[in-house]
Amino acid sequence: MARVRLEHVTKRYDDQGDVVTAVDDMNLDIAHGEFICFVGPSGCGKSTTMETIAGLTIPTEGEIYIGDREVTNLPPKDRGIAMVFQNIALFPHMDVYDNISFGLRLRDYPQDEIDRRVERAADIVQLEGMLNRMPEEMSGGQRQRVAIARAIVREPDVFLMDEPLANLDAKLKVHMRTELQRLHKELDTTIIYVTHDQEEAMTLSDRIAVLDSGQLQQIDPPLTCYNEPDNLFVAGFIGSPSMNFVEGTVTETTLETPNFSLEFNPSSIEGVGVGDNVTLGIRPEDIYPGDLQSEVPDPSGMITATTDILEPMGDEIFAYLLLGDGETSMSQELATNDQLLMSIDPDSDLEEDEELGVVIDRRNVHLFDSATGEAIVHDLIPYEAEGTASSSEVESDD
Amino acid sequence: MLYWSGMLVLFFFWAYGIVSFVLDLKNKIVPGIIQYRRGRRREKAKQEQEEEREEREQQLY
């Protein structure tokens, strides 16, 4: 059983007298056969965490367990793991067969066993008939499959993958993503995958571990991270395009923001009091043009906005809406109080600089504590009886 | 007079040369050697680290 556990793992580097904490008190419990993705922005500690599991870096504090063994100070070869690197790292002077069998030859496996494993791995990653080719004669995707086959032949307890698709073009990336899912299903092995691409993480993993500044922000299934983010960082990082954030203040019956108000009952939500400063999180797909108000289960009042920019994506259009006085803010703040991003149907006849009314689905409005960034609630419960469109009485401030 | 002028010119450049060499030795040559040796040591340590890292990575192939 290849369960992987990290207990209070911390990694500090001494950078010319300054101590840099790359991983800060990380606790993880990864089940056997689980596909888990470490995701986060550059410098968040995801690769360092993986390197501590791989044995490429020894943690400053904490313990790492693979299966029942503590492996914190063991060299990589004794951990029962194989790793696929971002730079692929094939030996250019060896053909595909020699590249795949490198690890087995290093460990003095008998020739017939090497042949059997290489053939099986080549079969899994669909490289049959290419075993005599040199790496330079192969495409990026094929080279990446050789690197994966090299990991498969080791029959490891755990696969580690450090941004293996980062150097591939968009089309090949999508194809390789499917291949990896198939591979996981076929091998039933624990896979730990590092990526900064949240789309990759969402599609591949059983659970996503979101990291920031060396700290674990949330570890949950992809849809839980998307629908119930634990804090502002996770809410802003997971989802493309990103969630809209608007600063607001709680009153007795509403949530007041600079440009609109939403009716809700603060007493029904634990942790919210009148006068509290909160940040509203609204996904672009939870904002609807006013003419669709009747189709929204629990709509807000009509909010007046002006379309600024339209971005047609083919299957949807991203509409940047200006609220209030219609001025575009160049603020670098997380919350953009005077701007909302809305995702609409591609057949919509909306045009730029058009004034329109929009409604927000209050069932999917997230509330975060402005001071701590922690999530308070992921659904604004209507103030009056459910199902009534009472909120339509609440008018936009402008 | 000619003798003293000649001696002055000759010994001025002789002394100037010695002083200049000592200053160069102090300010350029010795620090340059120290820096070169420090650089070599750093490069060697970096190379050793890279080799060690590569060797560890190869254990994961």
Residue ranges per structural domain of chain A: 4-233, 241-393
Q: Would you say residue B12 lies in a domain?
A: no
Would you state the torsion angle of the CA atoms of residues B47, B49, B50, B56, taken in this order, to the nearest 10 degrees? 150
Nearest-Cα residue of chain A relative to residue B54:
A56
Among the listed residues A319, A314, A393, the one whose alpha carbon sits nearest the alpha carbon of residue A356:
A319
* B15 within some domain: no
Q: How many CA atoms lie within 13 A of A2 on its CB side?
A: 20
Angstrom distance (rounded) from CA A384 to CA A141: 56
- In order, the DSSP letters of A291-319 are GGGGGSSSB---EEEEEEEEEE-SS-EEE
What is the pLDDT, as a whole number, of residue A396? 42
Q: Are the beta carbons of A174 and A165 closer than 8 angstroms?
A: no
A chain contacts of residue B57, beta-carbon cutoff 8 Å: 56, 76, 83, 85, 89
Q: What is the CA radius of gyration of chain A?
A: 25
Q: Is residue B13 part of a domain?
A: no
Question: Residue A248's beta-bridge partner residues?
Answer: A278
Contacts of B61 in chain A (CB under 8 A): 82-83, 89, 102-103, 106, 150-151, 154
H-only helix segments in chain A: 46-54, 96-106, 111-124, 140-152, 170-187, 198-204, 222-227, 232-237
Query: What's the token pair of residue A328?
Result: 């575009």
A160 vs B contacts (CB less than 8 Å): 60
CATH number for the region A4-233 comes to 3.40.50.300
What pLDDT was estimated at residue A386? Answer: 46
Give the ipTM of the model, two decimals please: 0.72
Residues A241-393, CATH architecture: Beta Barrel (2.40)
Number of domains in chain B: 1
pLDDT of residue B39: 96
Q: What is the pTM of this model?
A: 0.83
pLDDT tens for chain A, 398 residues: list them. Answer: 689 999 999 999 887 778 899 999 999 999 999 999 999 998 899 999 999 999 999 999 999 999 889 999 999 989 989 999 888 889 999 999 999 999 899 889 999 999 999 998 888 888 888 999 999 999 888 898 899 899 989 889 899 999 988 877 888 788 888 888 888 888 888 999 999 888 889 999 999 999 999 999 999 999 999 999 999 999 999 998 899 999 999 998 888 998 888 888 888 888 888 888 999 999 999 999 988 888 888 888 889 999 988 999 999 999 999 987 656 555 555 567 788 999 999 888 888 888 889 999 988 999 999 999 999 989 886 545 444 444 433 344 43
Q: What is the pLDDT of residue A329?
A: 54
Nearest CA-CA distance, residue A57 and chain B, Å: 9
The answer to whether residue A90 neighbours chain B at the CB level (below 8 Å) is no
- H/E/C letters for each residue in chain B? CHHHHHHHHHHHHHHHHHHHHHHHHHHHHHHHHHHHHHHHHHHHHHHHHHHHHHHHHHCCC
Comparing alpha-carbon positions, the chain B residue that sits nearest to A98 is B61
B53 lies in some domain = yes
Percent of chain B surpassing pLDDT 70: 100
Smallest CA–CA separation between A89 and chain B, in Å?
9
Higher pLDDT, residue A334 or B44: B44
- How many A-B residue pairs are in contact by the CB < 8 A criterion? 34
Q: Is A76 on the interface with B (CB under 8 A)?
A: yes
B12 to chain A, minimum CA–CA distance in Å? 48
Nearest to A55 among B56, B58, B61 (CB): B56
The reply to whether B16 falls in a domain is no
Query: Does B58 sit within 8 Å of A85, measured CB to CB?
Result: no
The domain in which residue B42 lies consists of 24-61
Cβ–Cβ below 8 Å for B61 and A76: no
Closest CA to A348 of A385, A312, A378: A312
Selection from A192, A177, A150, A251 nearest residue A47 by Cα: A192
Mark yes or no for CB contact B57/A85 under 8 Å. Answer: yes
Q: Which of B55, B58, B60 to mutate: most A Cβ within 10 Å? A: B60
